[in-house]
Each structure stands twice: as C-alpha cells, then as structure tokens.
Amino acid sequence: MPPRRTHNANPPLSTPPGNYYENIRVDGGQNHLGDAYYVPYGTETTRGGETNDQEDARYVLNKLEPYINKNASYNSYEREQQGTSICQPGTRGRILAKIEEWITGEGPPVLWLYGPAGAGKSTIAQTIAEQCDDRKNLAFSYFFSRKNANRNDLTKFMPTFAYELVRTLPSLGTSVREVIRRDPSIFGRRLELQANTLIVEPLKAVSEQMPRMVIVIDGLDEYSDDTGTLPLKNFIHVLVEAIKDMPFRIFFVSRPESYINAIFKHPQLRVKTMELPLHDWETTRDVFNYLRTELSRVRKDRQIQVFPWPSEDDLWTLAKKSEGIFIYASTLVKFVGARNCNSIKRLQEAMESHNGLDSLFTQVLDSAKEHPDFLFLLGIIMFLREPLKLWQLALFLKWSTHDIRAALEGSLSILYVPEGDDDVICPYHASLQDFLNDLGRSGSHFLDPATNHKTLFHTSVRLILEDTDFFTESGQGVYYAYRNWCYHLCSLINVNITSVDRTTIVALMEELNRNWCARLARLKSHEKVKSWLVDLEGVIACAKRGENDFEDLIKMGQELQENVHVRASIIMKVYLQSISSSLEICMSKHIMQKLVLIITFHVWKDGKHFT
C-alpha cells in the first residue's frame, strides 16, 4: 500500500518564498488544498509584509471555522484513521488517465463515475483528490459517509467550500468578509443563497485569472435525505448551477443507483454530464497487481518461509475470485495478514471458497463469531443511530473497552477498531452492512433489524431509569439513550411486541412524564429537544398505524407531548441564559445547573410560566 501522507495543521497565511503561476503564488505543503496564495499585482501590504487580502483571509477563516466540516475532506484525520488509500502503482492506470484527460480537456464540466459496491470508487476519488492537490488545482473535496452521519450535514457544506477556497485564494477573503459583515446569519440561510454569496460572487472578481480547479465529491449514494435535511437532487442542482460558469470541474462518484442516474439526466440540471461506468474497465489484472504487492508485504511481515508464496497461479485464482471488486482484495489481505492467525491456511481456505465478496465476508464472520459476544456487539454497532466513540460505547453497554476489543478481535479485516478509545468503530466498507442486512446473502450471519433495535431500546431505557441524580453530569451513554430511544422504539411498533416490551415502555413513559423537565436537560440544547419532540411524534404516529393495541403508548406519549411542547423552549432558554450569566459571576456550571433545575421544578409544579 502506498505510504500515507502526514497532514499538517492549517498553514499560516503568510507568503514565504514559492513558485508562481500567473497571479497565483504557491508554496509547497500537503494540507487540505496545499498552501496557495493569490496576490494581485500592485496590492499594498500591511506591516510585516502581509497583504490586506491576507489579513481579510485570516479574519474570514477564523469566522468560518466554527461552521465547517473537518471530517469530510479527502485527507481528514477521520478518513485517515479509517484506512483510506490511493490506487497502487500499476493499477487503475487507464481509468485514471481518462479522468485526467477530462480534467484538462474541453468536455462537459461534470463527470459522474459509478460502479458497484466495493469496486474501488472511493480509492479512485482519493487518488484524483491527492493528484489535484499536488498540482494545486484541488478546489474542494467532500466524502459523504453512510456510517459517519456528521458528513451528511449540508448546513456545513458551503461554509466548508468557502473555507477551502479562501485558504487556496486569500484574495477571496475581502469579498467573503464583506458577505459576512452584511449578513452575519448567512450560515443559517438556504443552501442556494450561501452558494451564491459565499462562493459565486467572490469568485467573479478572480475567475479570469484562476487556473481550472477540480471539486471531488464521493459517495452520493451514502448521502441520506433524512440526516442531510435536503433532497440529493436539490443539493446537486444548487452546486452545479452555482459554478457552471466558473472554471471548475466537478467529479461525482457513487453507486449506479437509478435515482442518481435520473438526477444527472433531468433537464433541470441544464449542464451536460460525462458518465464513466467502472464496469467498462477490465480490473482483473489491477487486482492481481494489488494482491501481489500486498501479499508480498504480508509474507515479509509474518516471516513466512515458503517460496513462492503465493504463487502466480494462486494470485490469478484470487484475482478471478474477486470478480473485479477491489474491496474483496483489500479484505482478503487484512484477513490473511491478521495478528495471531495461520496466514497460509487462511489463504488456502480463500482459494477453495466460492467466488465473490459474500464468500469472503462469510469466511471472516465464521472465524470472528467464535467469540460468544461478537454477533451481539456487531448488531449494536451496525444499528446505532449515530456512532459512539469506543469509550462512549463502553459506557452505553456498561462494558470495559478491553471487553469490546476482545469481542471484535476476529473481525479486524472488515471492521475498523481504533487503537485509542476516542474514535468510533465502523466497517471499512459500506458493503458489509448491505451484506448483513440481506438474509439471502448473509444466512446465519443475518442481523435482524427488529432484534437489534429492541436491544438498543431496552439498553436505552435501562440507562434512563437508572439516571436518578439529576444534579450530576450525565455521561455520553446516557445522552445517547435520551436522544435516541424514540428512534429505536419506532422500529418495534409493527413487530411482535412482547409483554416484557410493553412493561418496559409503560415504565419509561411513566418516568418521563413524572420528571420530564429534569430529563429534558439531559439533551443539553434547545435544538436537540426540538429534534427529540419530532421523534416522539413519530413514535405516536407509528403506534396509531400499528396493528397491535398501543392505546396506552399513544395516551402517555400525547401526555408527554402536552407537558413538554409549550415549556421545552422555556427551560432550555432559561438554562442556557443562566449558564451564560454564571460565567460572568464566576459561578460553576454545575452549581448553576442545580439552581436552574430547582427553580424549574417548583415553577412548573405550580403551573406557572417564565416570561
């Protein structure tokens, strides 16, 4: 595997000696976009040699930083920790050359690369992003992720785009600074308005002097309208429409989903799109070359004294079994090269198994489930509404981090398990979840959604009912329970609800109705309370549609709504204002939280309202 880069922090906006491209000043570095500085001729400089543009750029970057997504770029720490890689030398040469031809040519400004799960699409996108970054013509990269929902937050998309552009072209800082001065709330405006004011208008001043730049957006199929708050077709339309007259190329990557195909073919887009299907490119030899390089490394690392290992014939057998799917090859390498395993035996088993990724997943899972807690823990990880860091997951389950690591020891070829506790566990590839959710493909490894949502619901209820000391800070496991019990309960409404489930639901609703004001404070913000109320409405709606008798749930849910709806904004507003005021008088947050809760208990008990 090619060596990974070491990515530095954001570069200083000074202009040390560098190379020149017309009016673009460039200094080396391997940060998000390289260190590129645009300095118009004749621009006056401030003290210390810094231009006015650079001073404005520094101001704008500081203003934008709270609103950006730091996890979605091609070289983010989150992606690096999850094992991102670029195409191996000797692989994907023809398709990479085709993309490079499109970047420098006169064809359509939009390219859509599509292919099946595990075909290596993200690796190609990663490679193109790095190559463009090296040439200083990467405008922006954004990698959506089904499992990392934070990357689906489109409220941060345009501010992140603007941030990266200003880092590349500090001359944009003056225009963007003026936009923020005119409308400080621009970050809460419609995406289209943000695109025009933060991106298009500032670029018009320098567009004729800019080199052609590339935007890389990977994983359109992993973007969710539910978590992203904006339909995908609207997002694509806004982005393409905003920059269609600018010197940009947009490189989209996704699976060949019909709804995405319809978006690119819709007349409303008004921009021609070049399509590049991966299945048109023979990949067996590329997989062969990849396996030869990586398994040679395994042989060296594991000090295997068998020569040749694997043989040329073995490599071709494995390459054909991959059916051109690169995730097969990378998973096989991790599986065969795992710690404390018999690599020779595992490779032989892989060659004797059926073709394709499903067979390899089955082989890995058969080995991993020798630990009695593996399938239980795998189901929890796969059906969490939002990922928890390892230490948070331990608190939620009341396990030790050591026990979690031990249960997952046999699955390290398909699951990313971080070395430290302050990162999340997740699949290396989204195709694993597709496999586990399909009974026909996964067989005995099938993860039943109802069973796992039931487990997560009961675990959440247990934590909520055990949470009785409202004057101490709650842990992240408790926060997850309060925030997401409604979500997991919705998945149980139309399945076989047992008497135990009903007893648990009644106990939860009674407790929430009894101490709802104190428990709402566990959600920590007004926005989270509003979101939770939407989830509660969803539970009631599901119960009304359900075939089973949920009259008790509906009645108690509506009672909870009635208690909360009017007063939810009041408690959070008073709480947050009080916390802010407490800082001015040096009162601790813990003491102020006690004070606010005591006041709200008594005021609401008497039926009074804050004004």
Selected residue with higher pLDDT from 506 and 268: 506
- Return the sign of the alpha-carbon dihedral for residues 166, 167, 168, 174: positive
Predicted confidence (pLDDT) at residue 591 exceeds the cutoff of 60? no
Q: What is the distance between the alpha carbons of residues 323 and 107, in angstroms, rounded to a whole number?
A: 31
Q: What pLDDT shows up at residue 12?
A: 36
User: How confident is residue 395, by pLDDT bands cut at 50, 70 and 90?
Assistant: very high
Q: What is the distance between the alpha carbons of residues 538 and 546, in angstroms, rounded to a whole number?
A: 12
Residue range 291-311: average pLDDT? 92
Report which residue type is found at 477: G
Residue range 353-369: average pLDDT? 88
- The position carrying tokens 């819709």 is 266
List the chain domain ranges: 19-280, 284-355, 374-447, 450-605
Among the residue ranges 36-50, 89-103, 123-137, 270-284, the one predicted with the least confidence is 36-50
User: How confident is residue 129, by pLDDT bands cut at 50, 70 and 90?
Assistant: very high
Q: What is the distance between the alpha carbons of residues 382 and 405, in angstroms, rounded to a whole number?
A: 16
Supply the CATH classification number for the domain 374-447. Answer: 1.10.10
Q: What pLDDT shows up at residue 225?
A: 66
Q: What is the DSSP string of 584-598?
A: HTT--HHHHHHHHHH
Q: Is 424 exposed, middle or buried (0-12, 13-18, 19+ CB in 10 A)?
A: buried
- Return the sign of the alpha-carbon dihedral for residues 328, 329, 332, 333: negative
pTM: 0.65
User: How confident is residue 342, by pLDDT bands cut at 50, 70 and 90?
Assistant: very high
Beta bridge partner(s), residue 45: 51
pLDDT in tens, 546-589: 766 788 888 888 888 887 766 655 555 555 555 555 544 554 55
Q: What pLDDT shows up at residue 599?
A: 46
CATH homologous superfamily of 19-280 equals: P-loop containing nucleotide triphosphate hydrolases (3.40.50.300)
Q: What pLDDT shows up at residue 17?
A: 32
Query: How long is the chain?
Result: 611
pLDDT in tens, 428-484: 888 898 899 999 999 999 999 999 999 999 999 999 999 988 777 778 889 999 999
Q: What is the DSSP string of 64-87?
A: HGGGS-SSSSTT-HHHHHTT---P
Predicted confidence (pLDDT) at residue 542 exceeds the cutoff of 60? yes
Predicted confidence (pLDDT) at residue 229 exceeds the cutoff of 70? no
Average confidence score pLDDT of the chain: 81
Distance of CA 199 to the CA centre of its chain: 23
Q: Find out whether 126 and 84 touch, Cβ atoms under 8 Å.
A: yes
Q: What pLDDT shows up at residue 600?
A: 47
